[in-house]
Structures are given as C-alpha cells and as structure tokens.
Amino acid sequence: MSVTKGVILAGGPSKGTRMRPLTLDCPKPLLPIAGKPMIWHPLSALAKVPGLTEIIIIGFYEDSVMSSFIKESKREFPNIGISYLREYKALGTAGGLYHFRDSILRPPVPQNIFICNIDICSAYPFQEMMDLHSKHRGVGTIMGVNVKKETAVRYGCIVVDPETQQMLHYVEKPESWISNTVNGGIYLFDKSLFDEIKVAMDEKTARAAEDPLIKPDERLRLEQDVIVPLAAAKKMHVYQSRDFWRQIKTAASAVTASSLYLSRLQKTSPDFLAKPSSNIIPPVYIDSTATIDPSAKIGPNVAIGPGVVVGEGVRVKDAIILEGTTLEKHSCVLNSIVGANCTVGAWARVDGAPEPEQDVKGQISVTILATEVSLAPETLVRSCIVLPNKSLNRNSANEVLL
C-alpha cells in the first residue's frame, strides 16, 4: 500500500477573532466540540485512513499551546506519527505547505497527502476521495459540498464536469453566483503538489516583476494561487460529498458543529456518548468527571465538559457547557455555549435562537457566556455575548455585555 500522510492547517490566534469571546481563553483548534477539541475530529478521521503514517499540524500557535494535545493524540493513536510545525511568518496556506515540504516528504515518502482546513465540520469521506483520486490520477481531488444558492458566493465556488468529475473552474468568493458546489476545505494531493506550488510561486514572482502595481506579497494561497491554475490545466477533480458539512467560523456555528458531530458519534462510537435514559435525550456527551443530578434533563445535542456540576431539575438542550461550570437547580440552558468556570444561578435561563442560515449583521443568535461569567438566580440572558469575568444580575437580551 502506498504511503499517505495528513496535514491539518490549524491557523493562528489572529484567525480566531470571529470565535471570540470563546477564543480569548482557548485557542480555536482546542475548543471542545462534541466533547473533543475541534482539531481532534479531522485528526481521528485521518488516523483511520489505511496506510496513513503521519499527521502534521501546521499553525501559528506557540508550541506550548499545542503540546499537550499532541502528547494526548500520540497516546490515542500510537501507530501514527503526530507533530506540530509552527509557522513564524505568514506565507499563505500554499506557502506554509511549501515551507514545510521537507518535513512532509521525509521518508516514508508519501504518494498522497490529505490536507484539511481546521474551520470545517464534516464526515471526512477520505476513503471515497481516495477511490476517486486513484481512478483519475490527477494532481488533486477536492471535497466539494453543495450549499444553498443564496449562500454559495461566500465560499470558494467550483464548476464540475458532471461526467468526469473534473474541476472546470474555481472562483474564491465570486461576486455573482456560478455554482452551488463549493470548496469543502478537504483536499487529497499527489506529492507532485509541491512542484505545482513551485510553479505557482515562480509565476507570481514573474508577474510581480512585470507589473509594478502588484504589491510584493510573499503569501501564496492554496485556493487562488494553486487550485485555480490546476483547475485551468484540468489537473483537479472533485469528490462531491452528500454528507453533513458546515463551516465553523463563528462561535454560534460551534453549537451546530457540535450537534452534527454528536449525531455522527451516535452512529460510529455510541459508547463515547452518554447512555440514553428518560432524562438523557441522545445525542449527549458528558465528561466522566462531570456531576449530573439525576433529575436534570439533558439533550439532545449537548456536550458537557470536565468537572461541570449540573444541579437538580436543570434543563440543557442544544448547548456546549465547558469545563468547571456550575448550573444551579432548575436553571435552563438552550441554544448556548457556556464557557469554562461559569455559574448559572437557580432558575436562571440562558437562551438563544438557533444559528441562522445566514448571519444578519448586528443580530446575535446563540448566547455565548465567556469564561468565569456568573449569572444571578432567576435572571434571563437571551441572544447575548457575555465577555469574561462578568457578573450579571439583570435580564439581558440581544446585547454584547462587556
């Protein structure tokens, strides 16, 4: 079997701004989604790919941020090499890959490399992509997903030949609609990708030399600078996934992503989740160190982190409750993310609207309580974003509480 490796593009601290205030205290890749760090989901899916020897995480975070996750992952997947490579300079997604080409290509030399963006949630259909890839033998296969026509222009849009699955055209965030098939953020490339990146780099340098109006930019992007010319040269193919897919850009989308992953885990690893009962409506993840009163009703779509205390008669639904938080008796948490070490008082209500299909500027859907927020008994917080260390003792709705 030919050697395959995986690369996860983890981004960096400046990239997680739309996830604030959650990412003020927790780097985005480590944000718990369905009971596991966001990055664990692509990583564990890659670890199951036959013949995959190594997973390389590339990002801007300090090594210390990622080290304990790397250590834990090595323990969980002992047969796979797992490492974190820190970028010091913004080279762009393709530039970063090229910069680390020696590490990626070191023996055992991979024939194919999976590349995953961190900010998506997906069923990771790696096997299906591999099957298509081995059939067409082009340079790359991208996972295409279908989105609603109204939202398509917010993504990288792909025109596919329905017969051959060949990519005919690629436009990143086009001004007008060209296709409902968009870039799902997962790629499978032949190792010759690095030759293609080199060509793209040289071309970019040449263009810059010819045209003094082009600002010198060392950044080389995978989508616009590499995939666009590859599509033009008919070297890209598209695997069209029909399975679930969502971009995780905003904090609100973390609740949706968590629900999708929980539903998947219910099918693939039911033992990882809490056992359904009259008061546990699946899918629910409850960390083994959390304390849940038997009269509390939890689920569906709930993930409860380590050390969380859930009191008598509490209701939690469509929510993520992070480490060390206490939900006092009869409180109710719906469509919300409650950050680490928060206290939600008795009969308090933390409530949000489900994440809308399209963000409306200035409108908050899911309620987010950042770290160490305390909510007085009987108060209501609805569709608010509450920043760290805030104590609330009055009702609030549709506000950012600083």
Say how many C-beta atoms besides its own lie within 10 A of residue 180's C-beta. Answer: 17
Q: Does residue 264 interact with other proteins by CB under 8 A?
A: no
Q: How far is CA 180 from CA 143, 144, 157, 225, 235, in A?
A: 13, 9, 7, 22, 21
CB 125, CB 114: distance < 8 Å: no
Question: Among 37-45, 173-181, 229-237, 329-337, which window interacts with other proteins (CB under 8 A)?
Answer: 329-337
Q: What is the chain's alpha carbon radius of gyration, rounded to the nearest angstrom?
A: 22
Q: Does 196 bind other proteins (CB under 8 A)?
A: no
**C-alpha span between 217 and 208 (Å, rounded):** 9
Looking up tokens 């917010």 gives 154
Contact 392, 386 (CB under 8 A): yes
Tokens of 47: 């670890």
Applying CB under 8 A, which of residues 146, 347, 359, 390 lies at the interface with other proteins? 347
Q: Per rule CB under 8 A, is residue 279 in the interface with other proteins?
A: no
Q: From the list 182, 226, 332, 370, which residue makes contact with other proteins (rule: CB under 8 A)?
A: 332
Q: Shortest gap between Cβ of 336 and other proteins (angstroms)?
A: 13
DSSP 8-state assignment for residue 28: G
Q: Among 309, 380, 387, 401, which residue sits at the site for other proteins (rule: CB under 8 A)?
A: 380
Query: Which range, of 13-21, 41-49, 158-166, 307-315, touches other proteins by CB under 8 A?
Result: 307-315
100 near other proteins (CB under 8 A): no
Residue with Cβ nearer other proteins (119 or 318): 318
204 near other proteins (CB under 8 A) = no
Is residue 30 within 8 A of residue 69, CB to CB? The reply is yes
Residue whose C-alpha is closest to residue 321's, from 377, 266, 274: 274
Structure token digits, residue 361: 């500027």
Q: Cα 315 vs. chain centroid, distance in angstroms?
A: 27
293 binds other proteins (CB under 8 A): no
Measured between its terminal Cα atoms, the distance across the chain in Å is 55
Stretch that binds other proteins, among 38-46, 150-158, 246-254, 330-338 (CB under 8 A): 330-338
Nearer to other proteins, 46 or 369 (CB): 369
> Cβ atoms within 10 A of the Cβ of 41, count?
25
Per CB under 8 A, 385 contacts other proteins: no
Query: Residue 352, interface with other proteins (CB under 8 A)?
Result: no
Can you tell me which of 124, 317, 341, 342 binds other proteins, judged by CB under 8 A? 317
312 binds other proteins (CB under 8 A): yes
In whole angstroms, the minimum distance from the beta carbon of 308 to other proteins comes to 18
Q: Which of 43, 349, 355, 367 binds other proteins (CB under 8 A)?
A: 349
| Contact between 55 and 5 (Cβ < 8 Å) | yes
The footprint of other proteins (CB under 8 A) covers 297, 312-313, 315, 317, 329-330, 332, 334, 347, 349, 351, 378, 380, 382, 397
